[in-house]
Chain A
Amino acid sequence: MFSRIFWIARVTFLEALRQRFLAFLLLLAAAFILGSVPLRSIDFGHGELKFLADLGFGALFLFGSILAVVLPSQLLYGEIDNRTALTLLAKPVGRGEFLLGKFFGSWAVLGVFTFALTALIGIILLVREPDVVARAMALQVVPPEVSVLGLFEHALLQWLRLGIIVSVALLVGSLAQTFLYTVVVGSMAVLASQLVWIAQDTLANPEAVLSTVMRGALWLTTRIFPNLQGYNIGETLVLGQSMVLPGTVSSLSLSAAVYLVVILFLACTAFRRREI
């Protein structure tokens, strides 16, 4: 089983690397990150490194999310429309194996995307760090420090976050009949997951006045949608601007792993019933 998943993932990865859409988004995100360097003086008083990190991580997530929704949907529908899926699924390949192969292939591409852009952001931050430290020393304030380990941890968390989005796109794709529907519904699910923290905060607020129905709806929302906003701790990890509680990265990674398992299980179950 693992061998078949590996081979499908490998071919999916190689095919995805040839997609112009990937090259376009990668270049766009890199241009966005590089474009922030000449604009660093407009840092809104938050400090140059924070400005560069915010824009870089924002670009990584924005373009990564678009890629995480579109790429797996495109690869899945491409294989179904072109009948490649018929050829593969007539072999002793389970539908779950096929879908997991698509997932791992797409996720590997997002790994390349995430770590390449993180490397670019890291280089920019490390190049600018000495100047910023010198200025801070001259002003006798505590200088910020770029953590390479923090960069790696942040990249890992973003990759996991994008993995959740890929799995959501495949779940929607397993149920939907068209590529466009998958992309629209998948994007809405990502948006809902980005905003689910509002529901969590509202439920946790003892002063919030909520009807039973509203409370139930908010509770359900917080259980269905993963809180993707919770993975936005790049600035803290990389620049150490505030304290990261011990075990935060592990806890977020574990949470992502649980979401991945559950969403992929649902996607595989839905795909088994699909007419190819």
Chain B
Amino acid sequence: MTDQPAISVRDLTKDFRVGLRGVKLRAVDNLTLSIPRGQVYGLLGPNGCGKSTTLKIVLGLVPATSGSFTLLGHDSASPEARARIGFLPEAPYFHRFLTGRELVRYCARLSGVAADRVDAATDEALELASMTEAGNRRVGTYSKGMLQRIGLAQAVVHDPELIVLDEPTAGVDPVGSAAIGKMIQAMRQRGKTIVLCSHLLGQVEQVCDRIAVMDRGRLVLEGHIDEVLAQRGVHQISVEGLTPAARQAAEEALSRHGAHVLKVDPPRQTLEDLFRRLVTGSRD
């Protein structure tokens, strides 16, 4: 079964009926997609493009109008498949009166973690989410970033093979967003398959191995992140101490070999990198 893709979707279509007249709205249009195991897979697209609907269909939360799909080689409605996946929905709400630890324990029980393993699994999940210290506080007191991190902890407490994250960094500041990015990397190192649904393209670029881009319910691009972003025939050289004379000499040398300098700019750091360097708690 391990040669089966983590998620396989074939000719998937989903129509919603809206309004009193039941006008048909097509959310997913004949989508075919295969998400390999052991990778971080980014599912991208603008709001309303069908990303979340696709995930909900695959997780068995919404019925498809037509098409077929499997989860880890199983029917997504089967308990075997459900026990092997973890899901963090967009903007999740958890019971405010529970502590973070109680919430993760509750989810561990529901996910079928053996009674004698619940405490250890809870501790591990809280540690992975960097929520050990805040674990004894009530969920109602958590910040947005902490809510997302405790959401991640509940999604991974049963050590699933496949983790589906729907907008895990929505509304989270760059520091919290970077922390979630690190958690995703840590899970990948453990051999998990992660499906990341987001429109924070910078983060997706940093953490994803492959991406798929959806627009109006259709797949418009799919491939390895390096392949889809590469500009063929163009190369970048970083130089330190470039004087005007050195630059002219370099351009002449390159010209002799048929190459042309397109632009010479000082490299820019990203605003996110700058912010993370300046703000407390964001340094590695």
Contact = CB atoms under 8 A, between A and B. Distances in A.
B97 A15 contact: yes
A227 B154 CA distance: 44
A82 B62 contact: no
From DSSP, what is the main secondary structure of chain B's interface residues?
loop
A70 B92 CA distance: 24
B13 interface: no
A8 B89 contact: no
B275 interface: no
- Give the interface size class of chain A: 20 to 34
A70 B112 CA distance: 31
A218 B97 CA distance: 48
Contacts of A86: 56, 61, 87, 89, 92
Interface residues of B, number: 31
A31 interface: no
Contacts of A14: 95, 97-98
A275 B16 CA distance: 10
Contacts of A8: 110
A89 B62 CA distance: 11
Interface in B238-282: none
A90 interface: yes
B83 A83 contact: no
Interface in A90-128: 90-94
Contact of B109 (A7, A15, A82): A7
B92 A83 contact: yes
A276 interface: yes
Interface string A1-41: 00110011001001100100000000000000000000000
A88 B112 CA distance: 12
Contacts of B62: 275-276
Nearest to A81: B93
A101 to B, nearest CB: 9
B95 A87 contact: no
Nearest to A3: B109
A229 interface: no
B98 A11 contact: yes
Interface in A258-276: 273, 275-276
Given A7-B110, A86-B92, A90-B61, 11 more contacts: A7-B106, A82-B93, A84-B93, A87-B89, A87-B92, A91-B87, A91-B158, A92-B112, A94-B79, A275-B61, A276-B56
23 contacts: A3-B109, A7-B106, A7-B110, A14-B95, A14-B97, A83-B92, A84-B92, A84-B93, A86-B61, A87-B88, A87-B92, A87-B154, A88-B110, A89-B60, A90-B61, A90-B89, A91-B87, A91-B107, A91-B111, A92-B110, A92-B111, A93-B82, A275-B62
Interface of A: 3-4, 7-8, 11, 14-15, 18, 82-84, 86-94, 273, 275-276
